[in-house]
Amino acid sequence: MRKSDSGWKSDAPRITYTTAIRVRYAETDAMGWVYYANYFSYFEVGRTELIRNIWRPYRDIEKDGLRLPVVQTGCRYISGARYDDRLEITSHLSLPSMYRLRFDYEITHADEGQTIARGFTEHCFVSADGKLMPIPEDLRNKVGQ
Amino acid sequence: MRKSDSGWKSDAPRITYTTAIRVRYAETDAMGWVYYANYFSYFEVGRTELIRNIWRPYRDIEKDGLRLPVVQTGCRYISGARYDDRLEITSHLSLPSMYRLRFDYEITHADEGQTIARGFTEHCFVSADGKLMPIPEDLRNKVGQ
Amino acid sequence: MRKSDSGWKSDAPRITYTTAIRVRYAETDAMGWVYYANYFSYFEVGRTELIRNIWRPYRDIEKDGLRLPVVQTGCRYISGARYDDRLEITSHLSLPSMYRLRFDYEITHADEGQTIARGFTEHCFVSADGKLMPIPEDLRNKVGQ
Amino acid sequence: MRKSDSGWKSDAPRITYTTAIRVRYAETDAMGWVYYANYFSYFEVGRTELIRNIWRPYRDIEKDGLRLPVVQTGCRYISGARYDDRLEITSHLSLPSMYRLRFDYEITHADEGQTIARGFTEHCFVSADGKLMPIPEDLRNKVGQ
């Protein structure tokens, strides 16, 4: 996998992982659809499972004294999801800089296939006392950067 | 306020405090009403404000190394609440034992007055390392027990 | 399966079903444990899967114009659950009266086996316009009552 | 307030409204801060109160058969908020097109003043059966567009 001269790029290698969830009644709202904030909770499920599968459980990362707070996020709502719908969350991980992780997500209806939402989260590693930390080398190796 | 011979009793003195909230869209569900779990979040608002007003902010209690986890809870749903409804949460605090706090709650519709839900939470004080602690004396004095 | 002279009883036949979930970061609180209200969302997952497996999807029940609101609930917190813990929710369904369904739940740690919480919810069937409805006969047959 | 020749612009007149909330324990996570998805619930409080104050309650808009779903959102997390923090949500409404509403939000710490998060939501009006509807003229008049 090549690394461009100018450093980290959006065409950098990406890791992909897909997981599935089912919409809970708790996550719907009076309009009858999943409340818009709850997609960010689904994104969390997506990146938790991606990280677990390519590297190690996020829980263990916290035990090592690292945190991975969100610094930016966004979501576009293409169509809606309803109670009991089975959804697939496809997550992509890329490393746009030495200090920044980016997950891109696509949520689709598991049975009918249509796209429900697309979003992203950007994170950085911080130590327990809040100091910005570089991305651990073994994670960079896993992502191929 | 009298204290019965046999010690802590349900007719023990009680502290009462009323606060108000407005139902958020996030808290409703596809049935069009507040999702049943969210009343427990309203109860939290009720006891936070009661404790702040009769004693001190719960945040400061945590800074002193104490925690107040819930050990038991219950709720009866009398009628429903909808998006944007203004609700009043009336909370009562009593101390059924040296180690147990009990909050009773009544949630009513602020404009129309009908009862929406009644519930309770029981708590104990624990230290940061999880050890059961007696109720602080100054809180017992405030409650009149 | 017998039915006692005095009507529906707590020793009535019960249906049991076990499902599993994993704790999301969204469901934890600043104390580091699952926030106490979120167990009621787990209970919802438990009864949704029980109903789906013994009868039919709750979504279809709503399509037939029936609703199953909660009229009462309770929970005892035995120990805590943390982020990423795998939990098992064992749900039991019984029908204490012609109009009342009761689910009892036990949440245990899937790996270590200890009990985390025990609770219940009681429900009734109502029509779309809010009228109390008897429990459908085919569900009563499934439960053996 | 001028309106540019070329139509709807980002320098279009904006309506501003500020409201306040207090962070609930339910909204924090195991990292000790407000969980990142919950800021979108705060944004909802901000736009609900803005709409109520400049136009009319969103509840009444729904009664008239209109819905205002979110089509896109984003948030940048500048610093964190903790349990019991008092936050101010300043919301701005602009109308980037005949069919699109945009709310920009800034959440600040009410006591110390620092910015906690900045975000936006974009919405469109749809009828009860999901058809895209133009922005009502009286709302356009209120915004000065």
Chain B residue with CA closest to D37: the answer is B26
**pLDDT-based confidence at B2, cuts 50/70/90?**
very low
Look at residue C27 in the predicted model and tell me its pLDDT. 98
Examine the pLDDT at B12 and tell me if it is beyond 60.
no
Q: Looking at residue B135, what DSSP letter applies? A: P
- pLDDT one-digit tens code per residue, C62-89: 999 999 999 999 999 999 999 999 999 9
With CB atoms and an 8 Å threshold, state whether C73 touches B69.
Answer: no
Look at residue D145 in the predicted model and tell me its pLDDT. 67
- pLDDT one-digit tens code per residue, C11-22: 556 799 999 999
- pLDDT one-digit tens code per residue, D37-65: 999 999 999 999 999 999 999 999 999 99
Look at residue C5 in the predicted model and tell me its pLDDT. 39
Domain boundaries in chain C? 15-143
Q: Facing residues of B22 across strands?
A: B86
Look at residue D84 in the predicted model and tell me its pLDDT. 98
Q: Are A139 and A77 in contact (CB under 8 A)?
A: no
Query: Residue B54: helix, strand or coil by DSSP?
Result: helix
Examine the pLDDT at B9 and tell me if it is beyond 80.
no
Closest by alpha carbon to B84, among B13, B35, B25, B38?
B25
Chain C partners of D32 at a C-beta cutoff of 8 Å?
30
Look at residue B46 in the predicted model and tell me its pLDDT. 98
With CB atoms and an 8 Å threshold, state whether B57 touches D84.
Answer: yes
- pLDDT one-digit tens code per residue, B69-101: 999 999 999 999 999 999 999 999 999 999 999
Question: In the numeric block, which tokens belong to residue A7?
Answer: 């450093």
**D3-28: string of b/e by CB count within 10 Å (b at 16+)?**
eeeeeeeeebebbebebebebbbbbb
Instruction: For chain B, count helices (H), then strands (E).
Output: 3, 8
Question: In the numeric block, which tokens belong to residue D5?
Answer: 């020749």
The four Cα atoms C31, C36, C37, C42 give a dihedral, to 10 degrees, of 110
Query: Residue ranges of chain A with pLDDT lower than 70?
Result: 1-13, 145
Q: Are A87 and A110 in contact (CB under 8 A)?
A: yes
Alpha carbons D5 and C43: distance in angstroms, whole number: 57
Examine the pLDDT at D12 and tell me if it is beyond 80.
no
Q: Are A84 and A109 in contact (CB under 8 A)?
A: no
Q: Are C110 and C90 in contact (CB under 8 A)?
A: no
- Determine which of D23, D29, D41 to mutate to test the interface with C (most C C-beta atoms within 10 Å): D29
Give the range among A78-87, D10-19, D125-134 with minimum mean pLDDT.
Answer: D10-19
Examine the pLDDT at B8 and tell me if it is beyond 60.
no
Q: Alpha-carbon Rg of chain D, whole angstroms?
A: 16
Alpha carbons A124 and A103: distance in angstroms, whole number: 11
- pLDDT one-digit tens code per residue, D84-100: 999 999 999 999 999 99
Neighbours of D62 (CB within 10 A): 17
Q: State the nearest Cα–Cα gap between C6 and chain D, in angstroms.
A: 43
Look at residue B14 in the predicted model and tell me its pLDDT. 77
With CB atoms and an 8 Å threshold, state whether D75 touches A74.
Answer: yes
Cα B69 to Cα B62, B101, B122, B132, B142: the distances in Å are: 11, 10, 9, 11, 20
Look at residue C24 in the predicted model and tell me its pLDDT. 98
Cα C59 to Cα A85, C113, D97: the distances in Å are: 9, 32, 37
Alpha carbons D116 and D110: distance in angstroms, whole number: 10
Question: In the numeric block, which tokens belong to residue D115?
Answer: 């910015």
With CB atoms and an 8 Å threshold, state whether B75 touches C77.
Answer: no
User: Thinking of the domain B15-143, which architecture would CATH place it in?
Assistant: Roll (3.10)
Examine the pLDDT at B7 and tell me if it is beyond 60.
no
Alpha carbons D53 and D22: distance in angstroms, whole number: 20
**pLDDT-based confidence at C7, cuts 50/70/90?**
very low
- Determine which of C21, C22, C23, C25 to mutate to test the interface with A (most A C-beta atoms within 10 Å): C25
Chain A partners of B28 at a C-beta cutoff of 8 Å?
29-30
In this complex, the residue of D40, D67, D74 whose CB is nearest that of residue A31 is D67
Examine the pLDDT at C39 and tell me if it is beyond 50.
yes
Look at residue A7 in the predicted model and tell me its pLDDT. 40
Q: Looking at residue A34, what DSSP letter applies? A: B
Question: In the numeric block, which tokens belong to residue D132?
Answer: 């895209």
Look at residue A12 in the predicted model and tell me its pLDDT. 56
Cα C138 to Cα A98, B93, C66: the distances in Å are: 61, 45, 14
Give the mean pLDDT of chain C.
91
Query: Residue D24: helix, strand or coil by DSSP?
Result: coil
Between A and C, how many CB-CB pairs are < 8 A? 32
CA atoms within 13 Å, Cβ hemisphere of C136: 15
Q: State the nearest Cα–Cα gap between C48 and chain A, in angstroms.
A: 9
Tell whether B96 lies on the interface with C, counting CB pairs under 8 A: no
- Higher-pLDDT residue of D128 and C92 is C92
With CB atoms and an 8 Å threshold, state whether B77 touches C67.
Answer: no
Alpha carbons B46 and B17: distance in angstroms, whole number: 8
Q: Are D145 and D9 in contact (CB under 8 A)?
A: no
Host H or E run for residue A52: helix A38-54
Residues 32-91 of C with CB under 8 A from B: 33, 36-38, 40-41, 44, 67, 69-77, 80
User: Thinking of the domain D18-143, which architecture would CATH place it in?
Assistant: Roll (3.10)
Chain C partners of D26 at a C-beta cutoff of 8 Å?
29, 35, 37
Look at residue D6 in the predicted model and tell me its pLDDT. 39
Chain D partners of B83 at a C-beta cutoff of 8 Å?
58-59
Alpha carbons C30 and C41: distance in angstroms, whole number: 19
Query: Residue D44: helix, strand or coil by DSSP?
Result: helix
Residue by residue, DSSP assigns C28-93 as B-TTSSB-TTHHHHHHHHHHHHHHHHHT--HHHHHHTTEE--EEEEEEEE-S---TT-EEEEEEEE
